[in-house]
Amino acid sequence: MIPQTNPKAAYLAQREAIDAAIRRVLETGWYIQGEEVAAFERDFAAYTGSVHAVACASGTDALILALRGLGIGPGDAVITVSHTAVATVAAIELAGATPVLVDTDEHWTMAPAALEAVLKAWPSGVPKAKAVIPVHLYGQPAAMDEISAIAERHGLILLEDNAQAHGATLQGRMVGRWGKAAAYSLYPTKNLGAIGDGGIITTDDAGVAETLRALREYGWRERYISALAGMNSRLDPLQAAILRVKLTALPADTERRRAIAARYTAGLAGLPGLGLPKIRANAAPVYHLYVVDAGARRDELQARLKTAGVGTLIHYPVPVHLQPAYLGKIALGPGGLPNTERAAKSVLSLPLFPQLPDADVDTVIGAVKAAWAA
Ligand SMILES: *Cc1c(COP(=O)(O)O)cnc(C)c1O
């Protein structure tokens, strides 16, 4: 079976350095925060070109902390997409704010026109919009030029959900560098993954960074004195040490992801009715996922690939606004979310991780062609 993703392969690729990093932390006797976490934050800030990076326990927490750190909470609405990991929307609710969900465009990311439309016809009874969270889904940059212009015109804070797009660029500018802050997940299968949970927030604003550092640890600015009502969301030093090793491989891993994507695109071109990723002009995606649009044949294609020994996943099978926990709670844009609802029925993620050999990519291409012709 060729798996859709394989975090163990990433461990094995750097086994000696990761084992040594783990042993180093074990020997220090320092198991919460400390120099290892600070060093990872410096490394990640340097990688992204950000002034500050603040690590925390997960990507979901990174979003919650970022929202709180930007002063967003009860009485505020936050606009995002429904075609995303549920964490994006969960974080808005957990920060006490009200999510408002808009539709996606042909790149599977926030449609600027849908954002504009919902702001023009703001749903009644919903608090005033204070922020917008575009999601760089699948490693594809959202339309940040248009979205940031709309945000600016409407006085909205721009927070990027960069959980799937570490290092992607639009117009030569990294995603995560367009907004006031960006939240990253370091979940094992993400482009930069820990061996467990992790998250990090980047910002150039020293005041926001200082608030985030307090919020992640009981609101402390000074030990044992809670200046703010905070939480406990710390990145383990063990994970920080592992992530410092993994970060050294990220540029090469990203190039490998792009090479695999290019091989899929060349190998699968021209199959009638099979949609391949549409790349935005001037975008350099990082292919967290390679997602095809199989239309009404999606479930059949997935089943045939499984029989052929090819693992696939669906990101995501149910849009957030149709999930049991969120049904009816969330205000929608006018006209519903047709692209989002269509995506849930038609998308399929093919195997993609940096250690996937070309021979396996070719096997997948052959299996997709055979299944499509059947
Ligand atoms: C993974 C992910 C998150 C949540 O990250 P966790 O580390 O799992 O909490 C948020 N948003 C998106 C788009 C994600 O892919």
CA distances from 112 to 18, 97, 270, 316 (A): 42, 22, 29, 21
Instruction: Work out the number of other CB atoms within 10 angstroms of the CB of residue 281.
Output: 7
Secondary structure class of 173 (helix, strand, coil):
strand
The number of the ligand 1 atom at minimal distance from the alpha carbon of 136 is 13
Regarding the beta carbon of 195 and ligand 1, being less than 6 Å apart is answered no
Of 88-102, 173-187, 264-278, 326-340, the one with minimum mean pLDDT is 326-340
Q: How far is the CA of 85 from the centre of ligand 1 (A)?
A: 6
pLDDT for 242 equals: 98
> Is residue 160 within 8 Å of residue 182, measured between CB atoms?
yes
Regarding the beta carbon of 163 and ligand 1, being less than 6 Å apart is answered yes
Q: How far is the CA of 230 from the centre of ligand 1 (A)?
A: 21
DSSP state of 89: H
Regarding the beta carbon of 87 and ligand 1, being less than 6 Å apart is answered yes
Residue 169 clears pLDDT 80, i.e. is over it = yes
Regarding the beta carbon of 99 and ligand 1, being less than 6 Å apart is answered no
User: Atom 2, ligand 1: which residue's CA is nearest?
Assistant: 163
pLDDT digits (tens, 9 = 90+) for 23-70: 999 999 999 999 999 999 999 999 999 999 999 999 999 999 999 999
The number of the ligand 1 atom at minimal distance from the alpha carbon of 186 is 7
Q: Which phi and psi (to 5°) does residue 204 adopt?
A: -100, 0
pLDDT for 336 equals: 80
Q: Which of 135, 138, 164 most suits a substitution to test ligand 1, by most atoms within 8 Å of the C-beta?
A: 164
Which residues, including other chains, have CB under 8 Å from residue 41's CB and lie 6 or more apart? 52, 53, 54, 55, 200
Q: How far is the CA of 88 from the centre of ligand 1 (A)?
A: 7
Multiple choice CATH, 250-373, 3.40.50.1820, 3.90.1150.10, 3.90.1010.10, 1.10.1040.10: 3.90.1150.10
pLDDT for 10 equals: 98
Tell me what percent of the residues of the chain surpass a pLDDT of 70. 99
Which residues, including other chains, have CB under 8 Å from residue 188's CB and lie 6 or more apart? 7, 10, 194, 195, 196
pLDDT for 289 equals: 98
Q: How far is the CA of 372 from the centre of ligand 1 (A)?
A: 32
Measure the CA–CA gap between 69 and 85, rounded to whole angstroms.
Answer: 22
Q: How far is the CA of 190 from the centre of ligand 1 (A)?
A: 9
Per-residue pLDDT band for 335 (boundaries 50, 70, 90) equals: low
Question: Helices (DSSP H) in the chain: which residue ranges?
Answer: 7-13, 15-28, 35-48, 59-69, 86-94, 112-120, 144-153, 206-215, 237-268, 298-307, 338-346, 358-373
Q: How far is the CA of 184 from the centre of ligand 1 (A)?
A: 7
Q: Please tell me whether the peptide bond between 316 and the residue prior to it is cis, using omega within 30 degrees of 0.
A: yes
Q: How far is the CA of 118 from the centre of ligand 1 (A)?
A: 25
Q: How far is the CA of 87 from the centre of ligand 1 (A)?
A: 6
Q: What is the CA radius of gyration of the chain?
A: 21
Query: Dihedral of CA 58/62/63/69: which sign?
Result: positive
DSSP state of 317: S
pLDDT for 245 equals: 98
Q: How far is the CA of 11 from the centre of ligand 1 (A)?
A: 20
Residue 287 clears pLDDT 90, i.e. is over it = yes
Tokens standing for residue 75 = 């009485």
Regarding the beta carbon of 88 and ligand 1, being less than 6 Å apart is answered yes
pLDDT digits (tens, 9 = 90+) for 227-278: 999 999 999 999 999 999 999 999 999 999 999 999 999 999 999 999 999 9
Q: Which phi and psi (to 5°) does residue 64 adopt?
A: -60, -50
Residue 333 clears pLDDT 80, i.e. is over it = no
Per-residue pLDDT band for 332 (boundaries 50, 70, 90) equals: confident
Regarding the beta carbon of 55 and ligand 1, being less than 6 Å apart is answered no
Q: Which phi and psi (to 5°) does residue 185 adopt?
A: -95, 145
**Which CATH architecture describes the domain 7-245?**
3-Layer(aba) Sandwich (3.40)
Regarding the beta carbon of 140 and ligand 1, being less than 6 Å apart is answered no
Regarding the beta carbon of 84 and ligand 1, being less than 6 Å apart is answered yes
Residue 19 clears pLDDT 70, i.e. is over it = yes
The number of the ligand 1 atom at minimal distance from the alpha carbon of 187 is 7
| Mean pLDDT taken over the chain | 97
> Pick from 353, 368, 349: which is nearest to 85 by CA?
349
Regarding the beta carbon of 59 and ligand 1, being less than 6 Å apart is answered yes
> What residue ranges do the domains of the chain occupy?
7-245, 250-373
Q: Let me know if the fold of 7-245 is the same as that of 250-373.
A: no
pLDDT for 331 equals: 78
Per-residue pLDDT band for 334 (boundaries 50, 70, 90) equals: low
Measure the CA–CA gap between 340 and 126, rounded to whole angstroms.
Answer: 22
Q: Which of 187, 189, 287, 314 most suits a substitution to test ligand 1, by most atoms within 8 Å of the C-beta?
A: 187
Which residues, including other chains, have CB under 8 Å from residue 293's CB and lie 6 or more apart? 274, 275, 276, 343, 346, 347
Q: Which of 60, 93, 94, 189 most suits a substitution to test ligand 1, by most atoms within 8 Å of the C-beta?
A: 60
Q: How far is the CA of 195 from the centre of ligand 1 (A)?
A: 15
Which long-range contacts (C-beta less than 8 Å, at least 24 apart) are formed by 264-273? 264/290, 264/350, 264/352, 264/361, 264/364, 264/365, 267/361, 267/362, 267/365, 267/369, 268/292, 268/365, 268/368, 268/369, 271/368, 271/369, 271/372, 273/297
pLDDT for 328 equals: 79
